[in-house]
Amino acid sequence: MAFLTFNFFSEALGMQTECYCVIPQKSSYGEIGINGAETNASKYKVLYLLHGLSDDHTIWMRRTSIERYAAKYGICVVMPCAHRSYYTDMKYGLKYYTFIAKELTARVCEFFNVSDRREDNFVAGLSMGGYGALKIALRESERFCKGAGLSSATDIASRGINPVTVPIFGEDGAVPEDDDLFKLAEKHRDDPNKPSLFMGVGTEDFLYNENLRFRDKLRELGYDLEYRESHGNHSWEFWDEYIQYVLEWMFS
């Protein structure tokens, strides 16, 4: 695997930005301790992996063994930075939804040897990033075949008006339909290309109950949902374990 720092100009953000990427290399002969998948694909499958509220694009590399886990499946993983945007085109801020869901995917296909086919594109994240991943999977189902959220902030409308949400949604706190996971799930229930979804959460997580509510909504609406829970809280010990379940579900 190669590890790249990807700096480029974003038209959606109007500024330079940075992503981390891990991507297979055709040969790693002589590399010790690595047991990766064969990398003979003409175009690699790609996972867009999203960070949480207090973090940035570096965090998955710092807190997990994502490069080693990705090597097992011979996939590319792209880790962008969305700051504290909730992966939304902010009312008083930048267009992070447009950047992540639309522009970034085009730039990655432009610069890297990855597939643009729907069946080869995936999105996942944790907490704020779990919300972002589920939202992107539902809204961009023509591009993403699967989406996964770990310890996701599923009920964004319940956040109310606070210093985090005001720059995103405005002073009245009104959440647009396309940024509300429950309303999005209803809206896309009959989408012939609706994505398969994975949800994972710890039973001691402070977001556990809202994850149960969204799980039940998805089941009620007939989504193809893989749900998993176990003892754990809002922590990297949990996410490092569960991202391995996500990769197995996506790529096995």
Number of structural domains (the chain) is 1
Whole-angstrom Cα distance, residue 90 to residue 94?
Answer: 6
The sign of the torsion formed by the CA atoms of 213, 160, 176, 243 equals negative
pTM attached to this predicted model: 0.96
What domain range includes position 116?
2-27+35-251
Per-residue pLDDT of the chain (252 residues; tens, 9 = 90+): 999 999 999 999 999 999 999 999 987 766 777 766 656 678 999 999 999 999 999 999 999 999 999 999 999 999 999 999 999 999 999 999 999 999 999 999 999 999 999 999 999 999 999 999 999 999 999 999 999 999 999 999 998 889 999 999 999 989 999 999 999 999 999 999 999 999 999 999 999 999 999 999 999 999 999 999 999 999 999 999 999 999 999 999
Mean pLDDT of the chain: 95
The pLDDT tens digits of the residues spanning 61-106 come to 999 999 999 999 999 999 999 999 999 999 999 999 999 999 999 9
CATH number reported for the structural domain that contains residue 121 in this entry: 3.40.50.1820
Whole-angstrom Cα distance, residue 154 to residue 151?
Answer: 9
The reported pLDDT for the residue numbered 160 is: 84
Q: Report residue 59 CA to chain centroid gap.
A: 13
